[in-house]
Structure 1
Amino acid sequence: MKNFRKTKAIVNLDAFRRNLEFIKSMTSSSKQFFCPMVKSNAYGHGDIELTRVCEDVGVSGVGVALLEEGIRLRKAGISLDIFVFGPILDSAVTHLFDYQLTPVIGQWPELLAMEKLLGGREFSLHLKFNTGMNRLGFNPQESESLLSFFRKHPNLKLTGVCTHLLRGDDIGKPESISDQQIQDFESIISYFSHFQPQVHLWNSSGWFAVQDLKTKYSQSFHWGVRPGISIYGIQPLENKFFQELKPVMSIVSEIVTIQKVRKGETVSYGGMWQASKESLIGVVPIGYADGYSRSFSNRGEMLIGGSRVPIRGIVCMDYTMVDLTDLNIDPGRDLGKEVILLGEQSDQKITAEELAEMIDTIPYEIITCIGQRVPREFKGH
């Protein structure tokens, strides 16, 4: 259906490709496991379109959180290996076989359900171990019993073993949690060396942090990489390598109404902002129903005409108001004027990192919360 509202998210496929190629170039060889994470609709960017870029670049596979996400990609014609990192229980296991998805299993009920439903048929899977995240994964103490299980069920092909860093940015630092996780994981994978599985651990933060420590981490540096936030051009930490990344998403809208507000009048619900002088207030058609957080009320900014303009009043479900008073605005001429909520305009820019810091959250939440009412427009290849 045609979108009549001009609010949209512009996704730069060329920037995504460059980010992907840059991060992949850091791997030690073409055989190193490299699995971009495209869960949550590719962090809000558009999973099908971005996974097709992953296919072009050449990766080991892509990672999703939900079985439904993997099925969606298969139905779109994606032929890459797709790794499902979330738990899959009971009859849902059959869909793994139907759509040839590789599960990343972290508990016995999943493993036993798979063995039962397979009935001796061969199928590949990865194991996940909990080394400190305390979310998903087998306990390290279960390694020996798991080894016995796979020896008894040779039809279950153990092709990968992984864990999840709870930080990553503390690599090589005193009392590093990540270093302890790496040490514990080394003990785990020694049990399964006979199967020659892919071993993967690195997230974006850890992978960038370890680049200057290759000698110290001579073994673990060759373990697989599951980049997430970095492939979308967002920096989870300060690091010189992140300067090479380019943000993939911009959010663009327009001014749809301009109100002349007299001194003393208020704007939006509850009258939380009062004009100290005669003001021009622009109405932008995006609100919290679109994933633009209500926390930006009276504190956020947008870009109009290359200048930053402040949000006035409460962010509404469908609209947000901004102060145009200090701009050279003609209410009769400037309806439809471009508004940037995320991205660049002239020499100004608003980043996901800035927005996250403003409302005390993380960039991940900023981009993944942009809802389906905001159409994605893809540019580049």
Structure 2
Amino acid sequence: MYRASEHRPTQAVVSLENIKHNIKLYQNKKASHQQIYAVVKANAYGHGAIPVAKVALEAGVDGLCVATVDEAIQLRKAGLTNTPILVMGLTLPYGIAEILYYDLTITVSDLSFFEQAFYQLKKNQQENLLKDNQLKFHLKLDTGMSRVGVRTKEEVLAFVEGVKDYSWLDWQGVFTHFATAGGGPLSYIDYQWERWQDLIPYIPDFVSLRHFDNSAMGLHPAIGDHSDIIRLGISMYGLSSRDSVPDNLVTDRQIAAYHLDKDSLRSTNPNSELNLKPAFQLLSELSYVKKVEKGTRISYGASYESPEDEWIGTIPIGYADGWLRAYANIPVLVEGYPCPVLGVINMDQLMIRLPKEFAVGTEVTLIGQDGNYNNHPSLLAHMAGTISYEMLSCISERVPRVYI
């Protein structure tokens, strides 16, 4: 095992080579006019924003996407100064000076942001920032996600007219987000596509970037090529946006052992055809091993009682690390054996049933391959009633990341 700490063995191991591999798959499939922006929000879906952003740029992506201004500033301070960074979430106008100083591209959904931002600069006597800097932004269109964005022709026309009052703007792009590309009825894509086509003619010609592709839409056979940017998120990390599990990674034996419905793990999602390679492993070690007698109570609330004498292992990981209580039905892997969690998961530790005695220090795989079993994130997400995005992004910063 790679050791990130001398004090606690729990760690996430991230394969930067697999991230490069997954980017290459999209580079080989994209249209010649399309750019790829690596989505590194939420600490790069738990993989580590700065290392992932750096390796993505080395692999040839054209820009980066984050959710917040603070995430973008973190990347700039790490030395990523010569690449576009699009902040996809809405931001408050009070931080306009930092947005300009760090040369960030923000998302807006109404004209009031510009009025309030200019007032903030005047209030702080920072109007001089506008002499050498323009505010770069993309307009968000709401075509059916119903989260943020301009929704109607009238709203678009009002926005187009209103931005003329601000000479310090650099309107670079317009975009939307398809709500069901990664899950839900695929027919809804057609509805959103029609909405997009209804609104986009009213965007001025000088707005050069028009985009809607995420990982799934980037491979849509009829629509994907019409987006100027592919915002490459979950597939960059080696996973399907619909959490389909590749046949070659999880065997029928494992599906039976985990009591899963085989058909529920398959998907018609277009990126299931790609040879994506997961980049994330979550590893730990047995910190304590003991044999207990029949009737022994285990974990908080005495939530488990041993039906017979059995070997019990303790692992130093819990819900404060992002291994949530809802994951109590997910076996972990010890030397190729799937071992069930016993009782409730604690804040910092959990207990498992071992098939036999193992030494303290034996490696434990929570996410990743061990022998004939693969705790693939998408498979585990099915078991926990969630999605792989959530599982990975919830792994807390207390868990060190090791990069290989």
Instruction: Give the structure-2-normalised TM-score.
Output: 0.85
Q: 1:191 matched to which residue of 2?
A: 202
Aligned residues of 1:89 and 1:113 also touching (Cα < 8 A): no
Aligned residues of 1:67 and 1:84 also touching (Cα < 8 A): yes
Aligned pair 1:274/2:279, yes or no? no
Question: How far, CA to CA, are the matches of 1:279 and 1:40 in structure 2?
Answer: 40
Gapped regions of structure 2 (runs ≥ 5): 122-126, 243-266
Q: 1:13 matched to which residue of 2?
A: 16
Secondary structure of the residue aligned to 1:110 is helix
Q: 2:293 aligns with which of 246, 253, 262?
A: 262
Aligned residues of 2:111 and 2:163 also touching (Cα < 8 A): no
Q: 1:148 matched to which residue of 2?
A: 161
Question: How far, CA to CA, are the matches of 1:48 and 1:222 in structure 2?
Answer: 26
Aligned residues of 1:9 and 1:375 also touching (Cα < 8 A): yes
Question: How far, CA to CA, are the matches of 2:87 and 2:282 in structure 1?
Answer: 29
Secondary structure of the residue aligned to 1:204 is coil
Q: 1:94 aligns with which of 81, 92, 97?
A: 97
Aligned residues of 2:141 and 2:148 also touching (Cα < 8 A): yes
- The Cα offsets for residues 243-283 of structure 1, whole Å up to 9 and x where unpaired, read as 41011100000001012110011111112111111000000
Q: 1:323 aligns with which of 345, 353, 377?
A: 353
Change over 3 Å in CA distance of 1:2–1:262 after alignment to 2: closer
Change over 3 Å in CA distance of 1:66–1:222 after alignment to 2: closer
In the TM superposition, residue 165 of structure 1 has moved relative to its aligned partner by: 1.0
- The Cα offsets for residues 211-252 of structure 1, whole Å up to 9 and x where unpaired, read as xx33xx38x534421121111111122236434101110000
Aligned residues of 1:203 and 1:226 also touching (Cα < 8 A): yes
Aligned residues of 2:160 and 2:204 also touching (Cα < 8 A): no
179-188 or 248-257, larger mean C-alpha shift: 179-188
Question: How far, CA to CA, are the matches of 2:198 and 2:178 in structure 1?
Answer: 16
Question: How far, CA to CA, are the matches of 1:3 and 1:201 in structure 2?
Answer: 45
Question: How far, CA to CA, are the matches of 1:125 and 1:156 in structure 2?
Answer: 8
In the TM superposition, residue 96 of structure 1 has moved relative to its aligned partner by: 0.7
Aligned residues of 1:341 and 1:350 also touching (Cα < 8 A): yes
Aligned residues of 1:300 and 1:358 also touching (Cα < 8 A): yes
Question: How far, CA to CA, are the matches of 1:126 and 1:361 in structure 2?
Answer: 31
Q: 1:358 matched to which residue of 2?
A: 383
Question: How far, CA to CA, are the matches of 2:215 and 2:240 in structure 1?
Answer: 9
Q: 1:111 aligns with which of 107, 114, 124?
A: 114
% same residue: 32
Change over 3 Å in CA distance of 1:48–1:3 after alignment to 2: farther
Aligned pair 1:168/2:171, yes or no? no
- The Cα offsets for residues 306-326 of structure 1, whole Å up to 9 and x where unpaired, read as 1111111111111111101x2
Question: How far, CA to CA, are the matches of 1:348 and 1:15 in structure 2?
Answer: 20
In the TM superposition, residue 171 of structure 1 has moved relative to its aligned partner by: 10
Aligned pair 1:374/2:374, yes or no? no
Change over 3 Å in CA distance of 1:144–1:115 after alignment to 2: farther
Secondary structure of the residue aligned to 2:216 is helix
Question: How far, CA to CA, are the matches of 1:112 and 1:266 in structure 2?
Answer: 63
- The Cα offsets for residues 11-70 of structure 1, whole Å up to 9 and x where unpaired, read as 0000011011112322101x3132121000000100000000121122221110011000
Question: How far, CA to CA, are the matches of 2:134 and 2:343 in structure 1?
Answer: 60
In the TM superposition, residue 368 of structure 1 has moved relative to its aligned partner by: 0.5
In the TM superposition, residue 2 of structure 1 has moved relative to its aligned partner by: 4.8
Aligned pair 1:286/2:340, yes or no? no
Question: How far, CA to CA, are the matches of 1:65 and 1:159 in structure 2?
Answer: 18
Q: 1:302 matched to which residue of 2?
A: 332
Q: 1:135 matched to which residue of 2?
A: 147
Change over 3 Å in CA distance of 1:57–1:113 after alignment to 2: farther
Instruction: Report the residue type matching 1:136 in the other structure.
Output: V
Question: How far, CA to CA, are the matches of 1:108 and 1:308 in structure 2?
Answer: 56
Change over 3 Å in CA distance of 1:171–1:375 after alignment to 2: closer
Secondary structure of the residue aligned to 1:247 is coil
Question: How far, CA to CA, are the matches of 2:385 and 2:392 in structure 1?
Answer: 14
Question: How far, CA to CA, are the matches of 1:178 and 1:61 in structure 2?
Answer: 25
In the TM superposition, residue 293 of structure 1 has moved relative to its aligned partner by: 0.8
- The Cα offsets for residues 187-232 of structure 1, whole Å up to 9 and x where unpaired, read as 2221224214201101122223x1xx33xx38x5344211211111
Gapped regions of structure 1 (runs ≥ 5): none
Instruction: Report the residue type matching 1:165 in the other structure.
Output: F
In the TM superposition, residue 4 of structure 1 has moved relative to its aligned partner by: 1.3
